[in-house]
Amino acid sequence: MQQELERFAQREYLLERDVYAHVVEQVQAKAGSQIAYLYRYCQAREELSLVAVSAAMEPLLDENADRELPLARAGAWADAIRERRPVSYRGYPAAAASPLAGVDLALRNHLSLPVFSGSEVVAVVGVADIEAGVSDELTASLSALLDVMWPMVDARIAACRERGAGTRADVAVDGVLEAIIRAIAGAMEVREEHSARHQQNVAHLCECIAAEVGMSEFERRGLAIGASIHDIGKITVPSRILAKPDSVSDDEFSVLQTHAEIGADLFRSLQLPWPIVDMIAQHHERLDGSGYPGRLQRDDICEGARIIAIADTYDSVASDRPYRRARGTGKAIEILREGRGRMFDAFLVDAFLRCAHRDPGFGGRYSTH
């Protein structure tokens, strides 16, 4: 996925169509297919607008091709929008469900994927004639790619429109980054609500600690962003592991541990004004070297990651998890005190404990009973 994102980040776009075309290009390359398309979807009008197709489909379109399509006439291929999940078919006749109105195109091994902005479906991407067939792995990979790419797509589209209107973008770079990253975090909420809520809680706790230790406003903004996406790498972890109602196996835990590096890799190619990559990569590191993935120790762990580690541990213990009920704020504080100075930064733990003493429920996020 990192290579796809790097290519997307490095290319310049003057037209909206070019942005959408690149998304289609990335999807068909990953699927190993020549047939792919992208419709924007307007939920208010229940209408789809064709914005890009793969090169192999271009000859099938003529000036009379219907590029606007009501959802009611979209056929089975648009079930992904109706069901809000990826939908695949091994094959069906063109007359029953063609992705292009008026175009005779029989589809084989077809996969439709909804694209979300927050909780709203804003587009559908389809790919067909997949030689290797539609697998769970391919579906998960394409879904993860679209979840991460789409906020960048919207940002690029906005930039194209500003240029087209002859206006100059005067928005601060860090403000744009915050908007993009908030949108990426929103994508995770659609895929895995528990992880999204956990990230929101951790971000809130980190803001409390940052204020307590006197971080500058600029540093606090960076920390809030890093905390709000610290688990973004879990977007590639199978849902059956994240939502497992009992303890994970050793093999499943190994898969789960990859999320820190995968999440960091998503942002390595971007020029960020804060050490977001280190925050994501290091939030499971511990001062004594017992953490992962790099078994870093003490000063090798960035300060933002040290703060996130405390907030992450607290919320993980004090909140409900898919495999167990909350163990309570008292137990969470006990664990932090036991690890103070050994696993967790003593200065930062003390700052957190002062915050917890003043507001045990942290604004109503936690039950103290």
Is the pLDDT at 230 greater than 80, yes or no? yes
Instruction: Give the type of residue at 230.
Output: H
If you average pLDDT over residues 174-178, what whole number do you get? 59
pLDDT in tens, 73-87: 777 668 889 999 998
Q: Where are the domains of the chain?
A: 2-164, 173-358
Most confident option among 42-56, 166-180, 257-271: 42-56
pLDDT in tens, 327-368: 788 899 999 999 998 999 888 998 999 999 998 888 778 876
Distance CA(319)–CA(331), nearest Å, equals 11
Q: Which residues lie below 8 Å from residue 4, measured CB to CB, with a gap of 6+?
A: 26, 30, 145, 149
Residue 336 has a pLDDT of 94
Superfamily of domain 173-358 in the CATH hierarchy: Hypothetical protein af1432 (1.10.3210.10)
Label residue 41 by pLDDT band (50, 70, 90): very high
pLDDT in tens, 87-96: 888 765 443 4
Most confident option among 8-12, 27-31, 128-132, 207-211: 207-211
Superfamily of domain 2-164 in the CATH hierarchy: GAF domain (3.30.450.40)
Helix (H) or strand (E) holding 90: strand 87-92
* Token code pair at residue 319: 């909140």
